[in-house]
Structure 1
């Protein structure tokens, strides 16, 4: 089923595993997909893969933290297609980028603010630029954000990224309220820890080394709260994004959609 037939979709930070999976699903459901990232080599590979599988894709180097980059690229997309239907931003932070997991009493202000600026700030920039062009072209499109379950968790030594994750959820609700009159829906995907991604495996390995405990112990602690005997996959996250961007997905406007197969410790 092609829920996104003839839709025009832009995926920011598409060099990441989650955004790559979303781009693949958008294409499989019929969308023309523009994949962007600072790493042009990675998105070029992704675009070639999508086209090899019968999809339509174009790659471009875009910094999702540079407002001029974002605006110029979306302007180009609209000039080529006359509309903009779907935007997804999959930006994330590596363990080193946020300074590891220092206690809140030790973390610097810069370490606290880095996730807010890079994660929440990027979502703010890409979302508002997308909304501007959707309003101009009367596209009545879908803006999809990405957050982490840390927003509703109680884990120590993660003040910055936890605050940023919660901020993204609040931003989602505000933007949905502002742009709904223009037919734009805004939804936030909250993916559980995807063990198959390089970012999560890197987090686990780095935290295990920092605290001197086996990586397997950290994984077991996380999985102990699984409601089912299975966890989410990249493919499931991608398919969820495609559904939310479809006409049927309108029922979820302004919502935070958990993709985690159920967790006992997440509100």
Structure 2
């Protein structure tokens, strides 16, 4: 089903696994997709893959933490198409970018703020620039943000990224309230820890090495909270994003949508 036929979609931080899956689904549902990241080679490869599957995609180098680059790129997209229908930002933080997992009593202010600036800051920038162009063109589009279930779980030594994840969810509700009068929908996607992603496997392996714990033990501890015997896949996350960006997905405006098959440890 082509739920997004003739829509113009921009995916930021598309070199990541989740954003790549979202871009694939947008394309499969009929959208013209622009995939951007600081790693141009990675998004060029993604664009080639989308085209090989019969979709439409173009790649560009854009730093999702640089407002000038974001603005110039979205300005060009709007100039080429006269509208902007969908924006998704898949930015995340690697273990090293979080400064590891120091206890809150010993973490520096810089370590605490690093995930806030990278994750919440980037979502703030891409969302507000996208909203500006959607208002100018009366696109009545959809802005999709990404958060993590850490926002509502209780895990030690993760103050910075937990605070950043909660901040993204709060910002989603504020933006939806501000821009709803212009027909702009703002929705936040919250996937569970996807074991097939390089970021989550990297987190697990780095933590296991640092604390001399078997990586398999950490995976088992996380999966012990699964309600079902199955876990979400990247494809399911992508399909959920495509649904939320469709006309039917409008009913979830301002909401945080969990994509985790249900977890007992998530509020």
TM-score bracket for this pair, using the shorter chain length? over 0.9
Q: 1:112 maps to which residue? A: 112
Q: How many residues align?
A: 267
- Aligned partners of 2:109, 2:43: CA distance in 1, in Å? 33
Pairs within 5 Å for 1:78-227: 78-227=78-227
Pairs within 5 Å for 1:52-67: 52-67=52-67
Shift of 1:210: 1.2
- Aligned partners of 1:56, 1:213: CA distance in 2, in Å? 44
Q: Structure 1 length as normaliser, TM-score?
A: 1.00
Shift of 1:21: 0.1
SS at match of 1:97: helix
Shift of 1:239: 0.1
Q: Structure 2 length as normaliser, TM-score?
A: 1.00
Shift of 1:228: 0.1
Q: 2:258 maps to which residue? A: 258
**1:37 matched to 2:52:** no
The CA RMSD over aligned residues, in Å, is: 0.3
- Aligned partners of 1:170, 1:243: CA distance in 2, in Å? 22
- Aligned partners of 1:171, 1:97: CA distance in 2, in Å? 22
Shift of 1:173: 0.1
Shift of 1:105: 0.7
Shift of 1:130: 0.3
**Unpaired runs of 5+ in structure 2?**
none
Shift of 1:47: 0.4
- Aligned partners of 2:217, 2:101: CA distance in 1, in Å? 17
SS at match of 2:60: strand
Shift of 1:17: 0.1
SS at match of 1:107: coil
Shift of 1:211: 1.2
* Residues 84-93 or 209-218, more deviating: 209-218
Shift of 1:203: 0.2
